[in-house]
Amino acid sequence: MKPAPFEYVVARSVEETLAGLAEHADDVKVLAGGQSLIPAMNFRLAQPAVLVDVNGVDELDFVRVEGGELRIGAVTRQRTVERSEEVRRLAPLLHEAIPSIAHPQIRNRGTVGGSLVHADPSAELPSVMVALGARMRIRGPAGERWVAADDFFVGLLETAVGSDELLLEVAVPEAAAGAGHAFLELQRRHGDYAMAGVAAAVALDGSGRCAGARIALLSVGDGPVLAAGAAGVLTGETPSAELFAAAARAAAHDDIDPPGDIQASAPYRRHLVEVLVRRALTLAFQRADASGARA
């Protein structure tokens, strides 16, 4: 279990990174936290010819508030986000989800951008970003662009970031008044990839009806799955246990076509999604109530 040889390029800036990617376009990978890439290399499942190490690109290591948005640099360690007061305050869903990512030793190295670009369907951050309606800033030879989370994840382990491009940062809109959230997942063991999980961001309007809901599911598809059917059931309705159950049924039966693996069969996953969505909505709307009361 030793990695195959590769050429190692250290980048100190976004420009150096892009230059490195351009120069070695044939078979190059960005090395961020490496907590998924290096195991794959140790198993020799990944054998990139060149690694461009972005751990020293300090300009992408930040958490800040800008224009009513929370901005997180792509090479920010997950542990930094976990401890960030701004994140706790402005994106409580993200704050709640982060401890579910593996273990502290992994989060000490793992980066936000690395997890998003790796786009593992079981990973927490992609679903959270979809639920939060985040946007991603990408730069490449052709310049910069913003991509909405819904368009960022395009397939299994595949994102809108081209092989010659770099994810710079993610922008998360500040949680609005009347908003509620919940992150729930079921893992075999603490820190494992989830058998199923849900990131829910909901909002109540002034009359106590659901103003909108974004429910993103993990471990049930090629990437994060936005449960649009479930959201449709909720929107405009008054929260109730029956409503949550109906939305959960929609999520489990209309919104997903889950795969099976050795930890969870497809029917079991579907069942878990129904349970988790119901529980997550109950919690999220309770919190939405509570935040409304505080306001």
Q: Which residues bind other proteins (CB under 8 A)?
A: 1-8, 31, 34-35, 38-39, 41-44, 51, 53, 55, 79, 102-106, 108-109, 186, 188-193, 195, 262-265, 268, 271-272, 275
Cβ at position 195, least distance to other proteins in Å: 7
- Rounded least distance, CB 250 to other proteins, Å: 18
Nearer CB in complex with other proteins: 84/291 = 84
Decide whether 41 or 91 has the Cβ nearer to other proteins. Answer: 41
Residue type, position 9, single letter: V
Q: Give dist(CA 291, CA 66) in Å, integer.
A: 23
Nearer to other proteins, 104 or 155 (CB): 104
- C-beta of 150: minimal distance to other proteins in Å? 29
Closest CB 253 distance from other proteins, rounded Å:
16
Looking at the Cβ atoms of 108 and 235, the one nearer to other proteins is: 108
In the complex, what is the shortest distance from the CB of residue 241 to other proteins, in angstroms, rounded to a whole number? Answer: 12
Nearest-angstrom CA–CA distance, 36 and 33? 8
Nearer to other proteins, 100 or 291 (CB): 100
